């Protein structure tokens, strides 16, 4: 089995580490009661993680595809806000909050009226699938009362649900007429074929895969004014009137980076872009061009390869956005698209979800928790533990101590006030133990994920034997 040692010099100065032993390579089961020939120490006390607050938090994706019950979603998540805040969530990402062509069945991505938040009767309904405007504003107020920011999902390229009109630039009728009687009952940002590609001043088209005939032309001054420049623009109305705190930009491959840069220059706020591509360099280029954060699809696909497709943990060491842009990389294990029925190519299997969460909660980046994962009673307790670990001990330089197909061991170096942690993932059907060199000395360790009851002692040289249960993980740090 090929072995690797990896370090990420671009994340901070790293501690020196080496592989000391390969005691578990024979795949013999590890007996959790076996003391490995070392006398076990007396019972010890765990660190009070609240005293090691590193300032980090996590984001909740507060929806899934086709949420139920219809018309009650804003009320549903309002009731969960206090629980999420107590768990360590500081932002929620909600679905597009305005009326879509599918009316009461729309998830908002077939956007029709940028200013109908469930207060105009069109497309067969007044409320959106998620509720009324009053319920939306109440939900945002509840979130703010719990120190949680609300992130709006923004669709800036494709529109849907307009009326038919003759389009001379396509020489046919197109659904490009948006006014008070054609999919834009608010009467704000009325549109016609001149606002979409191609038109009388622009033939440019970034090649949108969605609704090509109603792909907004962001080079037109009128479109820019309505989207982010004017006082009643989408950006300023959402921030100053509705109360949104930040932005999730949908399908950014459908328009140019300057759009996001100018949007953020106009209104600021947290932002994350959906650039669905596993190429980390492409995502980094987008971050540099826009100033926005981005979902780390490179990390998502490395986890999918490591845990599912190839069952090889060395994939966890491959190039990911968080390695170079930890403050801009938004990491995740699932979202509303990856969890759709029948999605087999972009999906982390349920039995591997917690290992994936252990990875993103212990590494740099801003982790996102998917609603259905958190609401899964088999996951929630452990996800809460992982959030607590992320918000406390997951700090400092990254040092991958050991990686092979079955095992992955990484240490966060901490700092003078924080001991950091060690993550040990094991894909083997048997428990594993490995002797490593750490940055600690003469300490008793415990697994803060509580997957192991083992209490190893670090010697004066920083050497210690740690373990990970079969097909699971452990997160080690010092004790009181």
pLDDT of 8 > 50? The answer is: no
pLDDT of 105 > 50? The answer is: yes
The residue from 213, 250, 447, 463 that is catalytic is 250
What integer pLDDT is reported at residue 66 of this predicted model?
97
Contacts of 264 (CB under 8 A, 6+ apart): 247, 271, 290, 291, 292
User: Alpha helices of 171-313 — where are they, by DSSP H?
Assistant: 221-224, 234-237, 257-267, 280-290, 297-304
What integer pLDDT is reported at residue 377 of this predicted model?
97
When pLDDT is cut at 50, 70 and 90, the band that residue 20 belongs to is: very low
The stretch 240-244 carries a mean pLDDT of 98
Q: Decide if 4-51+397-478 and 54-390 have a common fold.
A: no
Q: Which two tokens stand for residue 476?
A: 């080690």
Please state the domain extents for the chain.
4-51+397-478, 54-390
Could you tell me the CA-to-CA distances from 261 to 72, 82, 247, 295, 388 in Å, in that order?
A: 34, 33, 12, 17, 33
pLDDT tens profile 415-442: 999 999 999 999 999 999 999 999 999 9
pLDDT tens profile 252-309: 999 999 999 999 999 999 999 999 999 999 999 999 999 999 999 999 999 999 999 9
The residue from 256, 274, 404, 405 that is catalytic is 274
When pLDDT is cut at 50, 70 and 90, the band that residue 343 belongs to is: confident
Q: What are phi and psi of 378, to 5 degrees?
A: -80, -15
What integer pLDDT is reported at residue 434 of this predicted model?
98
What integer pLDDT is reported at residue 283 of this predicted model?
98
Residue 274 annotated in active site: yes
* Structural contact between residues 331 and 299, judged by C-beta atoms closer than 8 angstroms: yes
Binding residue positions: 157, 205, 217, 406
Burial environment of residue 20 by CB neighbours within 10 A (0 to 12, 13 to 18, 19 or more)? middle
Binding residue positions for Ca(2+): 157, 205, 217, 406
Domain 4-51+397-478 top-level CATH class: mainly beta
pLDDT tens profile 106-143: 999 999 999 999 999 999 999 999 999 999 999 999 99
pLDDT tens profile 396-418: 999 999 999 999 999 999 999 99
What pTM does this model have? Answer: 0.93
Could you tell me the CA-to-CA distances from 221 to 16, 145, 230, 240, 264 in Å, in that order?
A: 56, 38, 11, 22, 17
Mean pLDDT of all residues belonging to the chain: 92
Three-point CA angle 154, 157, 158, nearest 5°: 100
Pairing verdict, β 329-332 and 366-370? parallel
pLDDT of 3 > 60? The answer is: no
pLDDT of 208 > 90? The answer is: no
What integer pLDDT is reported at residue 211 of this predicted model?
86
Q: What are phi and psi of 439, to 5 degrees?
A: -90, 0
* C-alpha span between 322 and 19 (Å, rounded): 25
pLDDT tens profile 21-61: 344 454 445 555 555 555 555 678 999 999 999 999 999 99
Sign of the Cα pseudo-torsion (235, 122, 177, 157, in order): positive
User: What CATH number has the domain spanning 54-390?
Assistant: 3.20.20.80
Burial environment of residue 477 by CB neighbours within 10 A (0 to 12, 13 to 18, 19 or more)? buried
The percent of residues in the chain predicted with pLDDT above 70, rounded, is: 91
- DSSP single-letter state for residue 191: B
């Amino acid at each position: 089995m090929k072995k690797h040692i990896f370090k990420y010099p671009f994340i901070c100065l790293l501690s020196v580490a080496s592989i000391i032993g390969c005691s578990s390579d024979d795949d013999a089961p590890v007996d959790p009661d076996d003391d490995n020939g070392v006398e076990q120490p007396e019972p010890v006390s765990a660190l009070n993680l609240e005293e090691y607050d590193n300032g980090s938090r996590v984001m909740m994706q507060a929806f899934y595809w086709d949420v139920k019950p219809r018309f009650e979603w804003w009320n549903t998540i309002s009731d969960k806000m206090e629980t999420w805040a107590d768990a360590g969530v500081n932002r929620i990402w909600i679905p597009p909050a305005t009326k879509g062509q599918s009316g009461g069945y729309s998830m908002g991505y077939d956007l029709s009226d940028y200013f109908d938040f469930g207060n105009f009767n069109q497309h067969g309904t007044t409320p959106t699938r998620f509720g009324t405007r009053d319920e939306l504003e109440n939900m945002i107020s509840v979130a703010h009362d719990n120190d949680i920011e609300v992130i709006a999902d923004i669709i800036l390229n494709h529109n849907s649900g307009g009326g038919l009109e003759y389009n001379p630039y396509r020489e046919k009728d197109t659904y490009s007429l948006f006014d008070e009687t054609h999919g834009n009952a608010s009467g704000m940002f009325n549109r016609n074929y001149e606002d979409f590609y191609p038109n009388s001043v622009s033939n440019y088209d970034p090649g949108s895969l969605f609704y090509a005939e109603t792909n907004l032309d962001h080079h037109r001054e009128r479109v820019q004014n309505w989207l982010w420049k004017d006082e009643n623009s989408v950006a300023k109305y959402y921030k100053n009137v509705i109360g949104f705190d930040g932005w999730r930009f949908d399908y950014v491959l459908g328009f140019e980076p300057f759009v996001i840069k100018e949007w953020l220059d106009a209104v600021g706020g947290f932002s994350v872009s959906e650039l669905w591509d596993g190429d980390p360099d492409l995502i980094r280029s987008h971050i540099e061009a826009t100033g926005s954060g981005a979902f780390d699809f490179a990390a998502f696909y490395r986890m999918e390869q490591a845990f599912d497709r190839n069952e090889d943990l060395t994939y966890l060491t491959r190039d990911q956005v968080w390695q170079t842009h930890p403050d801009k990389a938004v990491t995740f294990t699932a979202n509303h698209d990856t969890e759709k029925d029948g999605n087999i190519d972009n999906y982390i299997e349920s039995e591997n979800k917690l290992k994936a969460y252990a990875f993103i909660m212990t590494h740099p980046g801003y982790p996102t928790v998917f609603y259905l994962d958190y609401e899964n009673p088999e996951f929630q307790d452990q996800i809460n533990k992982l959030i607590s670990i992320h918000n406390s001990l997951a700090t400092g330089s990254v040092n991958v101590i050991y990686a092979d197909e079955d095992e992955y061991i990484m240490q966060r170096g901490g700092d003078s006030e924080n001991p950091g942690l060690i993550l040990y993932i094991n894909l083997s059907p048997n428990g594993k133990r490995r002797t490593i060199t750490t940055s600690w000395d003469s300490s008793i360790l415990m697994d803060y994920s509580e997957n192991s009851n083992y209490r190893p002692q670090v010697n004066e040289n920083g050497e210690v034997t740690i373990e990970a249960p079969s097909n699971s993980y452990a997160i080690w740090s010092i004790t009181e």
